[in-house]
A and B are shown apart, each in its own frame.
Chain A
């Protein structure tokens, strides 16, 4: 079965420290991978994506993610966390199927940045 896993329900980091939010996937073929963020009482916003090419992709708000094919992972990272980064983060994968395909999401990781 195709799936996306975010093994941590919550990640706590001090402001100014680096952060990592983990994501692994199990999908046949070459998936497209995404990260989305949900701020309190707001809709989901796109952060970044991996399609092909460089394994390190950069996105909005200083976030980046590293695609690792051998480990089937796509961890989200930021060198220096801000309190305003506190939110719910979702990893997602587009399942290859025709030209518009199902997108499945992980269960989400709540990121809490303390001052």
Chain B
């Protein structure tokens, strides 16, 4: 597609349930990032992928959070046993590889708003 696509756009779940959030990056973008934004707040880095590997997972808040990327394209962020503090907007972004004139600015999706009751 033309832009970064995220689904679902809105997810309401009960405490303790698992959720999966999907990100489809811009075609050809090798780098993919996940961030979390609490209401009106800044962006908290979660994880980024270069291809299918994740050089930096340092931002994942706990072992309930995991992410994978397959085929160098679609990524899924999974939150197990959701807690109320997981409620936030989860943003995905992609960028082209840093090479030549590509300076790797991020292109963001519209986000997935997660509400844990």
Interface residues of A (CB under 8 A from B): 32, 34, 36, 42-46, 49, 51, 88, 90, 92, 94, 97-108, 110
Query: Is there contact, CB below 8 Å, between A90 and B104?
Result: no
Interface size class of B (residues with CB under 8 A): 20 to 34
Partner of A100, one of B41, B43, B50, B93: B50
The interface residues of chain A, by DSSP majority, are classed as strand
Given contacts A34-B106, A103-B33, 8 further A-B contacts (CB under 8 A): A32-B104, A43-B91, A43-B108, A88-B40, A92-B106, A97-B55, A100-B55, A108-B42
Q: Which residues of B contact A99 (CB under 8 A)?
A: 50, 97-99
The answer to the question of B105 belonging to the interface, with a C-beta cut-off of 8 Å to chain A, is yes
Q: Which residues of B contact A100 (CB under 8 A)?
A: 30-31, 48, 50, 55, 95, 97-98, 104
Interface residues of B (CB under 8 A from A): 30-31, 33, 35, 40-43, 45, 48, 50, 55-56, 91, 93, 95, 97-99, 103-111
